[in-house]
Amino acid sequence: MKLLITGIHGLVGQYLIRILHDWPGKVIVTGRGPCRIPAEWMKDIHFEQMDITDPENIHAVFEQFKPEAVIHAAAEAQPDTCELNREQADLVNTRSTAFLLEAAEKHDSFFTYVSTDFVFPGTGGPYKEEDETGPVNYYGLTKLRSEKLVRNYPHGWAIVRTVLVYGTTLVGTRTNIISWVLGELQKGKPIRVVGDQVRTPTFAGDLAAALLLITKGKYQGVWHISGKDILSPHDIALMVAEYMQLDASLITKVDASTFTQAAVRPLRTPFEIRKARELLGYEPMSFKEGMEIILSNWQLAIGK
């Protein structure tokens, strides 16, 4: 099965790279601009520049490689950026999905779309796949609109929603909550961390493995893929401080209303992952296990 992936320079894309070598077929990974993935990770994997906002570029790439399966992981995932630049958010998150679906349809490709917990209002949870959506910010709305496009795709499709993805900060990847907390506490800086937003944080390696499993097996439908621990950012900050033996007194618990942000965040978006457990055999690691992997790798990298 020939596989094409978008967004390979993102955190999830870079974790996919690490486990793609066992894929039963040719793998084409795409990103905007030159490849920034280390050469040693790219053995037997082909990189192709592709701008997902350019339908002609997309069609040219699809005609060249004729993928039998697609994982669409590229997105503008910063809620505030989406809120402040709605036209660009529409283009990158929604219209680009339409462009990719049109190209995929010509090749009968199985289409896997990476979505988000932000399609939910955050007033309930843990959320199941069939629960009513209702985004409270523009980022969530662009992703929900894309989900609707995918649901109308005439060939096989899967929508994989996930929550607060974390992982090792790799080349070209933005800071995530673990690296941010670690960096600030190591500098001795006091930090204010939200305690009233609740998530099920997802290790990027677990998500990457689930995406490949769903795509390889062509498991159609909506899937909730996340971690199994219900935590707030404040909980996470305390766990990082304890593991790294840093000063937890620098951490102050605050409500989300303390901060002025362009985009409203839903308060409670933990996922119910029973469907993935029972039908896919999906079993994520605990947040503590994932955090320890990341922080242990960081300690090794700096020689501690």
Residue 169 CB partners (closer than 8 Å, separation 6+):
175, 176, 179
Q: Give 271-285 pLDDT, tens digit per residue.
A: 999 999 999 999 999
Name the pLDDT band for 304 (thresholds 50, 70, 90): very low
Instruction: Enter the pTM of the model.
Output: 0.95
Higher pLDDT, 82 or 259: 82
Third-level CATH fold of 3-167+202-229+272-280: Rossmann fold (3.40.50)
What does each C-alpha distance from 123 to 3, 209, 228, 246, 263 come to in angstroms? 37, 29, 19, 34, 16
Tell me what percent of the residues of the chain surpass a pLDDT of 70. 96
Residue-level pLDDT at 169: 61
CATH of domain 177-197+230-268+286-301: 3.90.25.10
Residue 93 is classified by DSSP as I
Tell me what percent of the residues of the chain surpass a pLDDT of 90. 86
**Residue ranges, CATH 3.40.50.720, the chain:** 3-167+202-229+272-280
**Residue ranges, CATH 3.90.25.10, the chain:** 177-197+230-268+286-301
